[in-house]
Amino acid sequence: MARRYDPDRRTRIIDAALRVVAADGMAKLSHRTVAAEADVPLGSTTYHFRSLDELLVAALRRCNENFAQTLRDSGIPVAGDGPGAGLADELTRVLGQWFTGDRGAMELEYELYLAALRRPALRPVAAEWTEGAVEALSRRVDPATARALVALMDGVCLQVLLTGADFDAGYTREMLDRVVAGRA
């Protein structure tokens, strides 16, 4: 029997894993559930990803890429009138856009991000997200301030997601502005 050429199979498997986690949570993720969701033979998932951790690393990397693209598409310039001028407004706008979009996508990204607490293989990929965000913001502010901004944005996102509260743009903008201005 000839092998069917399927260059997108690995990508479909990653996408399927994201859908499984989004629909049913990490506890339901298995090679079998992903194979069924991707409509591929079970052997395909284990061929491309020997372990669930390998699959989760690829899924979290996809989320990291999506976040990086969101930042690039957000229109946040790498330099303003002053190092941090308008940055709090710009970051609040980006967070507001995230929360007016698909909340399920944000929940999925944070579920994968926080899975690194129990899955050490994911920790370097979670750190890549943080470092990428810090690097992007360090074009506007010093690295310590950039790191504080990322931590604050993470905290705001987690609080909103975990409590089901509405995103408070005014409060978020004020807190981000305090960090940018060094008044934290």
Q: What is the pLDDT of residues 42-52, one digit of tens each?
A: 999 999 999 99
pLDDT of 136:
85
Q: Supply the CATH classification number for the domain 1-50.
A: 1.10.10.60
Distance of alpha carbon 177 from alpha carbon 115, whole angstroms: 30
Using a cut of 0.85, tell me whether the model's pTM lies above it.
no
Q: Where are the domains of the chain?
A: 1-50, 60-181
% pLDDT > 70, the chain: 89
Buried b (16+ CB within 10 A) or exposed e, 50-79: eebeebbbbbbbbbbeebbeebeebebeee
The domain covering 60-181 belongs, at the CATH homologous superfamily level, to: Tetracycline Repressor, domain 2 (1.10.357.10)
Q: What is the pLDDT of residue 2?
A: 44
Instruction: Determine contact, residues 52/134, Cβ cutoff 8 Å.
Output: no
Angle at 141 (CA atoms; ends 74, 97), nearest 5 degrees: 20
Residues of the chain with pLDDT below 50 are 1-2, 80-81
Residue 7 has a pLDDT of 82
To the nearest 10 degrees (0 to 180), the angle between helices 87-100 and 143-163 is: 30
Please tell me the predicted confidence (pLDDT) of residue 77: 54
pLDDT computed for residue 69 by the predictor = 72
Cβ atoms 21, 59 nearer than 8 A: yes
